[in-house]
Amino acid sequence: MKTFKMLSLGIEKNDQVTDYPVFDGIIINQENDERSWILEMLIDLPYQEFFDHLLGTKEVVAVQVVISYPGNEPAPFEVIVQDVKVMGEQVSVLMKGTLIRARRKYAETLLSELLEDGLEGQQLLERFETDMRTRPGLRIDDEV
């Protein structure tokens, strides 16, 4: 097994990513035949209801996790919430899932697609900055 520090978690829904502030987190590659990972994070109490809902539905959720260094590209996972526990003023959320096809060079691919769309100058810069924050799906992903 290998462990890593989880710095941030974003949940994807309808081509939008909602970030949840992680107070502390760990991610564990179980290095097994199922390629499973364990993700655990401490978040603020107001988010408990949302994660309790996910726990109750056992819904598979697409998440993006920044691991180890703030500059790392988010790693995409599909997870199911396994447990939610209140710990003082915070909530521990335990998830299990798998790493999905790694998206390499997101910035370069996004820029290429925006240039193909004819964007330039200030409009290109603003759209690039927005899309880097929200991480919408890329056309190249639709082709796979």
Report the pLDDT value the prediction gives residue 106, as an integer from 0 to 100.
75
Q: Which residue has the higher pLDDT, 6 or 135?
A: 6
> Are 116 and 73 in a shared domain?
no
**pLDDT(102) > 60:** no
> Are 116 and 90 in a shared domain?
no
Residue 25 domain flag: yes
> Are 64 and 114 in a shared domain?
no
Query: Torsion angle of alpha carbons 123, 142, 54, 98, nearest 10°?
Result: -120
> Are 93 and 114 in a shared domain?
no
Alpha-carbon distances of 129 from 9, 17, 86, rounded to whole Å: 19, 14, 36
Residue 26 corresponds to which tokens in the numbers above? 């760990």
Domain ranges, residue 131:
106-138
Neighbours of 32 (CB within 10 A): 9
Residue 7 domain flag: yes
Q: In degrees rounded to 5, what are phi and psi of residue 123?
A: -65, -40
The answer to pTM > 0.95 is: no
Find the mean pLDDT for residues 26-52.
Answer: 93
% pLDDT > 90, the chain? 58
**pLDDT(105) > 80:** no
Cβ atoms 96, 78 nearer than 8 A: no
Residue 144 domain flag: no
The number of folded domains in the chain is: 2
Residue 60 domain flag: yes
Report the pLDDT value the prediction gives residue 144, as an integer from 0 to 100.
41
Q: Comparing C-alpha atoms, which of 91, 70, 82, 84 is closest to residue 37?
A: 82
